[in-house]
Amino acid sequence: MSTPIGIQLYTLKDIIYDDFIGTLEKVAAIGYEGVEFAGYGDIPAETMKATLDRLSLKACGSHVSYELLTTDLDAVIKYNKVIENPYVICPYCKFADKEDVLKKAKEFNFIGKELKKHGIQFGYHNHNHEFEKIDGEFILDILYKETDPEFLKAEIDLYWLYYMGVSTVDYIKKYSGRVNLIHLKDMEIEADGSKNSTEIGNGVINIKEISEAAIENKVEWLIVEQEAFKIPSLEAAKIDYDNIIKMGLNK
């Protein structure tokens, strides 16, 4: 069974909120099997579900802010149950110190348990700051150690691990069984040394090796995300998808 390919819709943030459903149609036409939300464009859940069904797209996740998760979890659950989304992901969280990490781990356990009651899995998406150390440990490792794997899964963003000099392959293996989703994002290093995301296969990250390790460790979705562009975002999304197919990662 092949590992499906999705796209984080934040990739298309410059066009999607002008025509959300039209953009979903274009995503489906490229060949993507799933979409990961970063907002819903004020579209009612029933309409969104009907659109996904019409386009043979699946919801593979939804990024929901820490603030919303901690203030209106019922609304999050209600919407995502209707669209049959299996994953709600906290996309970003600040951690002031170890006490704050422990506080948020407790909150995440509660959120994850509540979501689980409704058939939704909770997860956390990393950036680079979670690979700063407290008492010799990565913040992300402390967070995972202090949360129940049943209630908090890992959505690994390989770009940020590479940025921080952490082996993505080793990290995926370390948390085998907990990494259900992975963000595929390549890196371009400019002449001045600055780093930006670029189309998959056009950068310096070994996407194929990392993806194969993720697939071997039972990741459920490969999810494209791109944040910086030198060409229109939809063109970039097609290159991302086509290069993944060329790598043979859909087999």
- CB of 45 within 8 A of CB of 79? yes
pLDDT digits (tens, 9 = 90+) for 196-211: 999 999 999 999 999 9
Task: State which H helix or E strand residue 48 sits in.
Answer: helix 45-54
pLDDT digits (tens, 9 = 90+) for 26-66: 999 999 999 999 999 999 999 999 999 999 999 999 999 99
**pLDDT at residue 244 in the model:** 96
pLDDT digits (tens, 9 = 90+) for 163-192: 999 999 999 999 999 999 999 999 999 999
Instruction: Please report, rounded to a whole number, the percentage of residues in the chain having pLDDT higher than 70.
Output: 99
DSSP state of 11: G
- CB of 190 within 8 A of CB of 196? yes
Q: At 1, is the pLDDT very low, low, confident or very high (cuts 50, 70, 90)?
A: low
Distance, in Å, from the CA atom of 19 to the CA atom of 72, rounded to the nearest integer, reads 26
- CB of 119 within 8 A of CB of 87? no
Buried b / exposed e over 183-217, threshold 16 CB at 10 Å, is bbbbbbeeeeeeebbbbbbebebebbebbbbbbeb
Task: State which H helix or E strand residue 58 sits in.
Answer: strand 58-63
pLDDT digits (tens, 9 = 90+) for 99-136: 999 999 999 999 999 999 999 999 999 999 999 999 99
- Mean pLDDT over the full length of the chain: 97
Domains in the chain, please, with CATH? 5-246 (3.20.20.150)
Closest CA to 52 of 23, 77, 12, 88: 23
- CB of 170 within 8 A of CB of 141? no
